[in-house]
Amino acid sequence: MEYDQNVKNRLKRIEGQIKGVLRMMEENKDCKDVITQLSASRSAIDRTIGVIVSTNLIECIQKMEENNKSEEEIVQEAVDLLVKSR
C-alpha cells in the first residue's frame, strides 16, 4: 500500500501533539491538561488508523481477483485490523 501525503501529514501533526505533551510534562503542567492532550492524540491516531484501513480496504476490493479473496474475506480482514487497533 502506498501512503499518501495526507496520512503522513496527519502523523506529523500527531507527532507535534506528543512533543507538546512531553513539553507540558517537563513544565509540570496540570494533569488534566496533559490528559486532555493525550486524549486528543489518541483520537487523532484512531482516526488515522481508520483512514489507513479504509484506504486499504478500497484497494483490496479493487484488486480482489488478484488476491484470490472474496469481498467478505477482505472486509473481515479490515474489521479485524480495526478491532486489533483497539
Alpha carbons within 13 A on the beta-carbon side of 75 = 3
**Average pLDDT of the chain, as a whole number:** 90
pLDDT per residue over 38-53, tens digit each?
A: 999 999 999 999 999 8
Whole-number Å distance between alpha carbons of 65 and 72 = 13
Q: Spell out the domains of the chain, with CATH numbers in brackets.
A: 5-85 (1.20.58.1000)
Output the pLDDT for position 86: 75
28 Ramachandran zone, left/alpha/beta (phi>0; psi -120 to 50): left
Q: Does the pLDDT value for residue 68 go beyond 90?
A: no
